[in-house]
Amino acid sequence: MSDIDLPPTRYALSGEVSIAYQVIGNGAIDIIMVPGLFSHVEFMHELPGYTAFLRRLSRFARIVSFDKRGQGLSDRISGAPSLEQRMDDVRAVMDEIGSRCAIIFGFSEGCPMSIMFAATYPDRVSHLILVGGFSRAADRMSDDLWQPRLEQIIKSFGSGAMIKTVIPSQLHSAAAVSQFAKLERLSSSPGALRTLLALNRQIDVSSILPTLQIPTLVVHRKTDAQVPVALGRKLGQKIPGAKYVEYAEGDHCYWLGEVEALYGDIEEFVTGRREAASMDLERVLATVLFTDIVGSTRSAAEMGDQTWRRLLDSHDELAKQMVAKHRGTLIKNTGDGILATFDGPGRAVRCAISVASASKKIGLTLRAGLHTGEIEIRGRDVGGIAVHVAARVMANSKADEVLVSRVVTDLVAGSGLKFSDRGSHELKGLPDRWDLFAASI
């Protein structure tokens, strides 16, 4: 499979139920990705960071994703499936692809199911990875709070409201909320979700934890707003010999945020080394551009979804044209902005100014940030410190402002571009102070 093509969706038969699955890579090790509450094997690739995460793991393993019965592209069913039935779905997919023994990667609500599968079929599980998980669903919320919360979830189902706890860092982006709303609708129906949540509330695999004899990695983010970190710590404490890793910040979704440490921890746990995290990565010097539409959430609320979507599409097309005109590479749309790279800092700055000017003509106010440094080419995505610096520079820019680091100003001396000193700033998560400048023509 190339970096452009996406994996085909195929089906495994579990009893009389067809289970949709996809395979990425052809490594000797199999990793079965057990999803959380929402999943759709095809639409998930539209979520920023998801495909890149799977491709990264596929450097040392064959990655298998699937939709649990009743969800996504798998067969819809009446009622809610038991843990035993869900385990059969994992077994059916493994049998279909000829996987005798695999690593089970459980995420969120998929963790109890993964735990039970590993305990029931230890000969078919080489390693167990639990991310953002829990053993007893009722531990997440007391009974008196649960019923009102359930009604709230069902009432707002399909609106993307759950992004508040699942991906709170993207709550400000109307496009991200709309995208998550679509994932909700594609994953399930309101009635099916109510039944599933009621069943999930009864899940308790706590008694099984001490019996696990599988090498286990438990990973949790301290700021996880969906599943409290205390529940991840409990898993790490109760599973014999488990390795527990806790990250200081990040959302519930494992494929977003600072994922480098997670990649390394998973690879080291599975293979005993961290080489794949750096292998096959092309490193080049580039100027990184981030843009952001100012006040996008407020504008979307005032205009309505359809009008805002059309305006956002116009912005995306303008940005695409401007990046191409300035010989840049459009890496991706970030919901209400873009990420692009350039092999020349002067063209990058002029492109940022042009995108901001063109967007203003259609009623959108932008802010932008640029930094030049070494980046890592990861298929269709990019990474590295330079990308993080550019994002932090943008976060410090004001409306109608194109902000750049001192590195950029030093490299474009004599280009005719003008720069106004904006002072020295601390950039979140980065050492030292950074001199920033507002660019103009």
What structural domains and CATH numbers belong to the chain? 10-277 (3.40.50.1820), 282-440 (3.30.70.1230)
Mean pLDDT of 17-32: 93
Residue 281: pLDDT band by 50, 70, 90 thresholds? low
Euclidean distance between CA atoms 75 and 20, whole angstroms: 8
Mean pLDDT of 333-352: 91
- pTM score over 0.85: no
> What percent of the chain stands above pLDDT 90?
59
Sequence-distant (6+) residues with CB within 8 A of 364 are 293, 299, 311, 315
> What percent of the chain stands above pLDDT 70?
96
Residue 5: pLDDT band by 50, 70, 90 thresholds? low
In this predicted structure, the answer to whether residue 271 has a pLDDT above a threshold of 60 is yes
Q: Write down the pLDDT at residue 280.
A: 52
Token pair recorded at residue 67: 């939709």
Residue 323: pLDDT band by 50, 70, 90 thresholds? very high
Instruction: Describe the strand order of the beta sheet including 30-34 as a list of residue ranges.
Output: 10-14, 17-24, 62-66, 30-34, 102-107, 125-131, 216-221, 243-247
Question: What confidence tens digit (pLDDT) does each residue in 94-114 have?
Answer: 999 999 999 999 999 999 999
Euclidean distance between CA atoms 26 and 36, whole angstroms: 24
